Structures are given as C-alpha cells and as structure tokens.
Chains A and B, each alone.
Chain A
Amino acid sequence: MQGLDIGYMWGLVPVILGYVPLTLGMALAGMACALVLACLLAVERVARVPVLDRAVVLFISFFRGTPLLVQLFLFYYGLPRLVPFLVNIDGVTAAVIGLTLHFSAYMAESIRAAILGVDRSQWEAARAVGMSEGVMMTRIILPQAARIAAPTLVNYFIDMVKSTSLAFTLGVTEMMGAAQKEAAGSFLYFEAFLVVAVIYWGIVEAFSFLQRRLEHRLGRAYSR
C-alpha cells in the first residue's frame, strides 16, 4: 500500500475551501425555498382543499418516489424544452430547483405531522379568541410545529448540503468538481476526494452545533 501524500492534501485544502461558499449558497437557497414550499404543501395537506389536495399528493409522491439525481437531469435537460425562457438554464439553477422540489416533498410530510402534533387546546384557544384560520396557522400553530419539526428539518438540511455534490453531474464546478479537476492532473484521486469528504464532514459538524443551539432556543418557552 502506498502512503498518503499529506503535503499534496494540505495544499488542496484551501483550493477546495474556496468552493464552500458555492456549496453553502446552493444549500441555503434550496433550503429557504424548500421551507416555504413545504409549509404551503403541509398546510394544504392539513386543510385538504378539494382538487388541490390531489395535486399536492401527486407532487409529494413523485418527488419522494424518484431519485434526486434523476430529477436533476430532468430539470437540466427537460426544463429548457418545456419553458422557453429557461433555454440557458445553468447547472446551479437546475440544482437549486431540483433540491427545492425534492426536499420540499420530504419536509412537507414532517411539517404536516408536526402541525397535527400541536395540542388541540391551541387550535381551540386560537379559534375561541376569533382568529381566522390563516392567522391561527401563522401566529400559533406553525411556530409550535416548528419546534416539533426542527430536528428533522435540520437533518434534511444536512442531507441537502451533501446532495449539492450532485450538481457536479450537471457540470457545476463545486467541491467535487474542483477535486476531480485537481486530481486529473496529479492522479492523486484518493487524496483529493478524502479532502472533500473531510471538509463536508466539518461543515455538517458545524451545522450540528447550530442545531443544538436552535433546539435550545425553540424550546425556551416550554421549560420551567
């Protein structure tokens, strides 16, 4: 067995780190859009609007039922043919759209469960003081559902950070793409991808730390 070329790896770290903003940018944009969409989907699933409910069920079924990689290819190659002004869709945009739709389907289900997990007394109190259903949702139910759903949603976010690496297959030079290009010159593929793995790991650990802070904050109102 050959030894690792540690010096080469050290030299590669700053190069790969330079692509972290792109990775985080795609993940944060995807997460923000997915959260909004998932909340809308979840509220619809709870309210069960006729006709619309069918469409939402179909949407969730499709995006949970097909691989993310396949969805990304569908958007990258399919959208330009379906929507004329997206002819010049770039890989980053296609990736963010794909991540948004894919993860919103999963997140909608966990937000729906969280909404239904909010105590009945909270719904009744909101209605009894005369709140409309919309005000009740935004002021009372969703904030409490957020606390219930937070750990799962952070897990999806972590998954999304790692899934941005699939943008590589759409020709985006992100962390994976950069490592691939570097290794193509040096033939030190193992070293290059090891650096990528460790950096992903570090990012995820940082978010796990933030997760504990977030859960503590959301739980503040509920502890004595």
Chain B
Amino acid sequence: MISVRGLTKRFGDTTVLDGIDLDVREGERVVIVGPSGTGKSTLLRCLNFLDRPDAGTITIGDLTVEAGRATPAQVLALRRRTAFVFQNYALFANRTALGNITEALVHVQGRPKAEARARAEAILREIGLADRAGSYPAALSGGQQQRVGIGRAMALEAELMLFDEPTSALDPEWVGEVLDLMRRVARQRRTMLIVTHEMQFAREIADRVIFMEGGRIVEEAPPERFFAAPQDPRTRRFLARVSGGGSPARPAGRA
C-alpha cells in the first residue's frame, strides 16, 4: 500500500506539485497523463527523492518519510522500496546488460554473485535479450536499452515501480517492443505508477487513470470511464487534443 499526502514541490517561485494526495493499492497499475510541464515526472521523482519534495509525507508499506525532515537513511530506505525506469534509459554506461541488472542485486541488496547472475540471466531471457548479456549500453539500440532498464527495475522486486515516460525518447520503431514488455510486467500484477503519453496503452493496462494539470490531480477514474466520460472540462480538452490531429501524443491504436 502506497500513500502520499500533501506532496509539494517548488522550483524557485514555481509550485510544480501542489499538495498531491494519492493512494495506490498493492498490485494496482496507475497511469498518470496530462499536458507537458504539469508535474507528472516531478511527482515520480519526488517519490524516490531524486527531486527533494518540500512538504508532505510518503508511505510505502511500513515506511513513512516526511518531506521536510527525511534523513539520508530514510531516503535510502525509500529508494530501496522503489524501482525507477527513466525516459533516457540511464543504464550504467560502464556495465554490460547483465551487469546493469546484477549491480544493485549484489552491491545494494547484498545477494551472492552467483544468485544475482542467475536472476539476471532469467530476466534477460524474459526481456528477450539473453544473447546481448555481454553487450555494453553503447552497443544496444534504444529499444534494447530501455528493455534492460525495465529489466533492471524488475530484478529489484521493489514494492513500487515508477515509469517516467519510458517510451518518449525512443525512435518510433522501438516503441512497440518496450510497450509489449511493459504489458508483460503489468500482467505480473506488480504495483506500477506510469507516466506516459501512450493513451491506447493506458486504456489497456491501467486499473486507474489520473489526469494532472498545474501540479494537481484534476480527475481520476477507471480507464473505461476516464476515456469515455471524462468529467472535468480540462480533462475533456486534453483528451480532445491528444486524440485529434497535430497532437504531441502518438495516435491511439499503434503498437
């Protein structure tokens, strides 16, 4: 169970997150959508303190961290209960595909090397990259890198998986394989919080869709209702824009 209360983040005079309240049940898949620059990514980055929130509390399981007075040990504990998938993949450039997955298993979780290796090899098979185990990130395509990024997050078996626009930096030809993998992860009923512009994907895998604008949650609903009968005029405007022509989002139905 994840519970966020009054999460607030300011950059200078700009309030990027304006008192976010959010609960996520175990195994729930929540997709966050909304216009650019409305704090979706910042929300994810505040949940594991990549960005330091200014106020509010974050509870994951039995760990509660208060924004203003989080100790380094608490921040570390919070990060070890979450896994993060980056928009730009952020694979360790000095580690192979296999090494990217084993790294935290050995040097954060303290598992024996042989066990970590076996687990990483199983993950590589699952993400279809067993034959690239020894490749460094620079030698992998964008789609392959992001699949390793997702594999690295899966291996951690964290209580909460955070996906920050995992397909936004990809060439269109690689989007499909990454979304396929995310569908697979979603079927494993892991707790997922996903920021994405892929509306069709959201419709397919989300238990709940959240619409954010101006640093606040405007509306949240199950996907059927969210897409068919949005309540707030801002949500309706956004959905009309992304499904109409000339939108920044990819057309529904692809992938």
- Complex contact A127–B50 (CB within 8 A): yes
B103 within 8 A of A: yes
- Complex contact A131–B108 (CB within 8 A): yes
Cβ of A67 to closest chain B Cβ, rounded Å: 38
Q: Which of A126, A128, A131, A221 contacts B136 (CB 8 A)?
A: A221
Q: Mark B134-149, 1 if CB is under 8 A from A, else 0.
A: 0011110000000000
Interface-forming stretch among A34-42, A87-95, A132-140?
A132-140
Cβ of A118 to closest chain B Cβ, rounded Å: 9
A194 within 8 A of B: no
- Complex contact B79–A130 (CB within 8 A): yes
Q: Please report whether the interface of chain A is mostly helix, strand, loop or mixed according to DSSP.
A: helix
Interface-forming stretch among B15-23, B89-97, B184-192, B229-237?
B89-97
In the complex, chain B residues 62-103 whose Cβ is within 8 Å of any chain A Cβ: 76, 79-80, 82-84, 86, 88-96, 103
Closest to A119 in B: B93
Q: Which residues of B contact A132 (CB under 8 A)?
A: 76
Q: Which of B88, B96, B139, B156 contacts A129 (CB 8 A)?
A: B156
Q: Which residues of B contact A129 (CB under 8 A)?
A: 79, 83-84, 103-104, 108, 152, 156
Q: Which of B49, B86, B107 contacts A121 (CB 8 A)?
A: B86
**Cα distance A119–B83 when bound, in Å?**
20
Counting contact residues on chain B (CB < 8 A from A), the size range is: 20 to 34
B42 within 8 A of A: no
Cβ of A73 to closest chain B Cβ, rounded Å: 42
**Cα distance A119–B138 when bound, in Å?**
14
Q: Which residues of B contact A135 (CB under 8 A)?
A: 107-108
Q: Which residues of B contact A131 (CB under 8 A)?
A: 104, 107-108
Cβ of B149 to closest chain A Cβ, rounded Å: 8
Q: Which residues of B contact A124 (CB under 8 A)?
A: 50, 86, 90
User: How many residue pairs, one in A and one in B, have C-beta atoms under 8 Å apart?
Assistant: 73
B48 within 8 A of A: yes
Q: Which residues of B contact A220 (CB under 8 A)?
A: 136
Q: Which of B48, B92, B96, B138 contacts A223 (CB 8 A)?
A: B138
A209 within 8 A of B: no
Cβ of B77 to closest chain A Cβ, rounded Å: 8
A224 within 8 A of B: yes
Q: Which residues of B contact A127 (CB under 8 A)?
A: 48-50, 79
Closest to A118 in B: B93
Closest to B75 in A: A127
Q: Which of B86, B89, B93, B108 contacts A130 (CB 8 A)?
A: B108
Q: Which of B84, B91, B94 contacts A143 (CB 8 A)?
A: B94
Cβ of B101 to closest chain A Cβ, rounded Å: 10
Cβ of B75 to closest chain A Cβ, rounded Å: 9
A122 within 8 A of B: yes
Q: Which residues of A contact B83 (CB under 8 A)?
A: 128-129
Cβ of A97 to closest chain B Cβ, rounded Å: 33
Q: Which of B84, B93, B107 contacts A144 (CB 8 A)?
A: B93
- Complex contact B103–A139 (CB within 8 A): yes
Q: Which residues of B contact A122 (CB under 8 A)?
A: 90, 92-93
A-B pairs with lowest CB-CB distance, top 7: A130-B80, A129-B104, A121-B90, A128-B84, A125-B90, A221-B136, A130-B79
Interface set of B (CB-CB < 8 Å, partner A): 48-50, 76, 79-80, 82-84, 86, 88-96, 103-104, 107-108, 136-139, 152, 156
